[in-house]
């Protein structure tokens, strides 16, 4: 029997049941998943390249004690996809990637582990560029740098861009002002009651911008000493982490964890705006994005408003310039405003609006890349012909 050239969709789905990993990659539209194993050095890492239409995939490496492979794979797939959208909406010529190292960052770090990871990154030949993420510090990146040039987020003393948190905070501040403009007709945050969840790196810089503008601040953290010293510095009121959602505020700024906007917390919120740095803020994007729209709460999509950190490390690739990174991060104001306007005009959640705008840029760039130039690569017969001519 002649092989059929058309694949029956039902059959194809049945067949895919036997390939759960490929099915997962297809469902998120990923290009590549790399498993890196060096048992003697304690390395169990996974690198995910989501989409390289816009350029090499850039995204941090996270070290976390995942309970199993499935958890780690789910996280790296979700995070790397987020990076594609973050780069696209920020106007960067970068694709989306991310890596995870399975392990406890307090106990299992070593030079050998990070250098081995660096070798695997190098082996991808620039398809993936790494940086810091949760559980990773500058020293670890210096070890990675010993084995590969495909690394960013290095200390300023060796020509890197340093800690990205201040630029992330600046972008969040700009995005928050854009939300205020939409909700209140003015982007001034003077006198606005703003709650901040988390007293970490980003919050510390953000709280200073907000306090300088005259906002009334409420801050919480699970660590009392951290929150107390920040609150004293910026003149904020310390609140219990459990009370943060129900506070009577104009703006809630999640700057700690993901998944904090969910069935339970939405019913407690009284704010007009959610604008913070945390990634994957919506527990379920579709469901909770729609719920916020129904509750008339303006939500600044996480990957748009927190893109300052990516903008900062991306500028390292061209030779770091702090002013240029700041100028680029200030554009988050206009991007958030465009998204809020699109969302209003189309009566659609803000996350849908930002996804549409990001996907449009990827699609258009994909088309541009198809236009032949002398840099284009030939393959097969035409390639041979071309190579013989030149
Ligand atoms: P961080 O670790 O310095 O700060 C997070 C703070 O949140 C910590 O002080 C922690 O104790 C606190 N926290 C944890 N659980 C909490 C809870 N339940 N209630 C209150 N506080 C809690 O991290 P960061 O670098 O400031 O990043 C904050 C968030 O922004 C993270 O979700 C991160 O992924 C995201 N983000 C950061 C950057 C960046 O440049 N640092 C860039 C993009 C996104």
Does position 360 have pLDDT exceeding 50, yes or no? yes
Evaluate: CB of 146 within 6 angstroms of ligand 1.
no
CATH number at residue 67: 3.40.50.10860
My answer on whether 131 and 187 are in the same domain is: no
- Residue 312 alpha carbon, nearest atom of ligand 1: 40
Among the listed residues 130, 132, 89, 82, the one whose alpha carbon sits nearest the alpha carbon of residue 279: 82
Among the listed residues 118, 90, 20, 10, the one whose alpha carbon sits nearest the alpha carbon of residue 331: 90
My answer on whether 118 and 176 are in the same domain is: no
pLDDT at 162: 85
Task: Work out the percent of the chain whose per-residue pLDDT is above 90.
Answer: 80
Tell me the per-residue pLDDT of 54-99, one tens digit each, with 9 for 90 and over. 999 999 999 999 999 999 999 999 899 999 999 999 999 999 999 9
Among the listed residues 221, 227, 208, the one whose alpha carbon sits nearest the alpha carbon of residue 169: 208
Once rounded to an integer, what is the mean pLDDT over residues 331-359? 97
How far apart are the C-alpha atoms of 159 and 263, rounded to whole Å?
45
My answer on whether 244 and 328 are in the same domain is: yes
Does position 374 have pLDDT exceeding 90, yes or no? no
Tell me the per-residue pLDDT of 89-105, one tens digit each, with 9 for 90 and over. 999 999 999 999 999 99
My answer on whether 116 and 256 are in the same domain is: no
**pLDDT: which is higher, 138 or 37:** 37
Catalytic, 367? Answer no
Evaluate: CB of 277 within 6 angstroms of ligand 1.
yes
Does position 234 have pLDDT exceeding 60, yes or no? yes
User: Could you tell me if residue 283 is inside a domain?
Assistant: yes
Among the listed residues 35, 72, 79, 41, the one whose alpha carbon sits nearest the alpha carbon of residue 58: 79
pLDDT at 14: 67
pLDDT at 376: 64
Task: Work out the percent of the chain whose per-residue pLDDT is above 70.
Answer: 92
Tell me the three state secondary structure of residue 3.
Answer: coil
My answer on whether 241 and 127 are in the same domain is: no
pLDDT at 389: 42
pLDDT at 317: 87
Among the listed residues 137, 120, 106, the one whose alpha carbon sits nearest the alpha carbon of residue 45: 120
Split at pLDDT 50, 70, 90, the class of 16 is: confident
Of 107, 123, 151, at which residue does a domain stop? 151
User: Could you tell me if residue 18 is inside a domain?
Assistant: no
* 311 close to 328: Cβ distance less than 8 angstroms: yes
E strand spans, the chain: 32-38, 43-51, 57-58, 61-64, 95-102, 128-129, 193-197, 216-220, 237-238, 251-254, 273-274, 298-299
Does position 11 have pLDDT exceeding 60, yes or no? no
User: Could you tell me if residue 12 is inside a domain?
Assistant: no
User: Could you tell me if residue 378 is inside a domain?
Assistant: no
My answer on whether 214 and 115 are in the same domain is: no
pLDDT at 138: 83
Q: Please report the DSSP string for 30-55 in residue order.
A: --EEEEEEEGGGTEEEEEEEEE-SSS
* 116 close to 43: Cβ distance less than 8 angstroms: yes
User: Could you tell me if residue 84 is inside a domain?
Assistant: no
Does position 196 have pLDDT exceeding 50, yes or no? yes
CATH number at residue 346: 3.40.50.720
My answer on whether 208 and 339 are in the same domain is: yes
Catalytic option among 44, 86, 98, 182: 98
pLDDT at 12: 64
Evaluate: CB of 198 within 6 angstroms of ligand 1.
yes
Q: Is 200 exposed, middle or buried (0-12, 13-18, 19+ CB in 10 A)?
A: middle
| Radius of gyration over every alpha carbon of the chain, rounded to an integer in angstroms | 22
My answer on whether 315 and 174 are in the same domain is: yes
Domain housing 227: 165-362
Q: In whole numbers, what is the pLDDT of the chain averaged over residues? A: 91
* 31 close to 54: Cβ distance less than 8 angstroms: no
My answer on whether 223 and 331 are in the same domain is: yes
State the total domains in the chain. 2
Task: Give Cα separations from 356 to 85, 89, 204 (angstroms).
Answer: 10, 10, 32
Q: Is 132 exposed, middle or buried (0-12, 13-18, 19+ CB in 10 A)?
A: buried
Does position 164 have pLDDT exceeding 50, yes or no? yes
User: Could you tell me if residue 13 is inside a domain?
Assistant: no
Once rounded to an integer, what is the mean pLDDT over residues 352-374? 92
pLDDT at 377: 59
Return the exposure string of 53-72: e unless at least 16 CB atoms fall within 10 Å of the residue's CB, then b.
bbbbbbbbbbbbebeeeeeb
- The pair of structure tokens assigned to 168 is 């992330």
The residue whose C-alpha atom lies closest to atom 41 belonging to ligand 1 is 165
Most confident option among 44-58, 142-156, 319-333: 44-58
User: Could you tell me if residue 382 is inside a domain?
Assistant: no
User: Could you tell me if residue 184 is inside a domain?
Assistant: yes
Tell me the three state secondary structure of residue 56.
Answer: coil
Once rounded to an integer, what is the mean pLDDT over residues 192-207? 96
My answer on whether 99 and 40 are in the same domain is: yes
Q: Please report the DSSP string for 134-170 in residue order.
A: TT--HHHHHHHHTT-S-B----GGGTS----HHHHHH
Does position 134 have pLDDT exceeding 80, yes or no? yes
Q: Please report the DSSP string for 306-351 in residue order.
A: TTHHHHHHHHHTT---HHHHHHHHHTHHHHHHHHHHHHHHHT--HH
Once rounded to an integer, what is the mean pLDDT over residues 10-32? 84
pLDDT at 378: 52
My answer on whether 118 and 170 are in the same domain is: no
Give the Cα-Cα-Cα angle 174, 306, 184 (nearest 5 degrees).
35
3-state helix, strand, coil in the chain (%, to 5): 50, 15, 35
pLDDT at 135: 87
How far apart are the C-alpha atoms of 88 and 92, rounded to whole Å?
6
- Residue 254 alpha carbon, nearest atom of ligand 1: 29
Expressed in angstroms and rounded, the spacing between residue 239 Cα and the centre of ligand 1 is 17
Evaluate: CB of 133 within 6 angstroms of ligand 1.
no
My answer on whether 274 and 336 are in the same domain is: yes
- The pair of structure tokens assigned to 350 is 């803000």
Once rounded to an integer, what is the mean pLDDT over residues 160-171? 92
């Amino acid at each position: 029997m002649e092989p059929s050239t058309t694949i029956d969709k039902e059959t194809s789905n049945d067949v895919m049941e036997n390939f759960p990993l490929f099915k997962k990659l297809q469902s998120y539209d990923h290009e590549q998943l790399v498993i890196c194993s060096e048992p003697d050095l304690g390395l169990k890492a996974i690198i995910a390249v989501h989409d390289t239409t816009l350029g090499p995939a850039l995204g941090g490496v996270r070290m976390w004690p995942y309970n199993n492979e499935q958890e780690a794979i789910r996280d790296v797939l979700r995070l790397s996809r987020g990076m594609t959208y973050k780069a696209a909406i920020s106007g960067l010529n970068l694709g989306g990637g991310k890596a995870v190292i399975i392990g406890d960052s307090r106990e299992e770090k070593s030079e050998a582990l990070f250098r081995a990871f660096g070798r695997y990154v190098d082996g991808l030949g620039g398809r993936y560029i790494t940086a810091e993420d949760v559980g990773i510090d500058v020293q670890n990146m210096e070890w990675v740098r010993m084995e590969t040039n495909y690394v960013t987020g290095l200390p300023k003393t060796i020509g890197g861009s340093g800690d990205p948190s201040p630029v992330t905070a600046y972008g969040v501040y700009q995005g928050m002002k854009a939300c205020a403009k939409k909700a209140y007709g003015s982007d001034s945050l003077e006198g606005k009651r703003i709650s901040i969840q988390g007293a970490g790196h980003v919050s510390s810089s953000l709280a200073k911008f907000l306090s300088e503008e005259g906002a009334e601040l409420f801050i919480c953290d699970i660590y009392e000493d951290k929150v107390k010293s920040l609150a004293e510095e910026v003149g904020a009121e310390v609140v219990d982490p459990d009370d943060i959602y129900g506070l009577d505020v104009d703006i809630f700024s999640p700057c700690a964890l993901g998944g904090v906007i969910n069935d339970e917390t939405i019913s407690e919120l009284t704010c007009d705006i959610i604008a913070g740095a945390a990634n994957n803020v919506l527990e379920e994007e579709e469901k909770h994005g729609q719920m916020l729209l129904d509750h008339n709460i303006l939500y600044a999509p996480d990957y748009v408003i927190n893109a300052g950190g990516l903008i900062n490390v991306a500028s390292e690739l061209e030779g770091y310039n702090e002013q240029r990174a700041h100028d680029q991060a200030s554009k988050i104001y206009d991007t958030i405003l465009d998204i809020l306007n699109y969302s209003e005009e189309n009566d659609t959640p803000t996350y849908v609006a930002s996804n549409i705008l990001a996907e449009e840029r990827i699609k258009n760039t994909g088309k541009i890349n198809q236009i032949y130039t002398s840099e284009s690569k030939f393959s097969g017969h035409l390639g041979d012909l071309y190579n013989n001519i030149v």
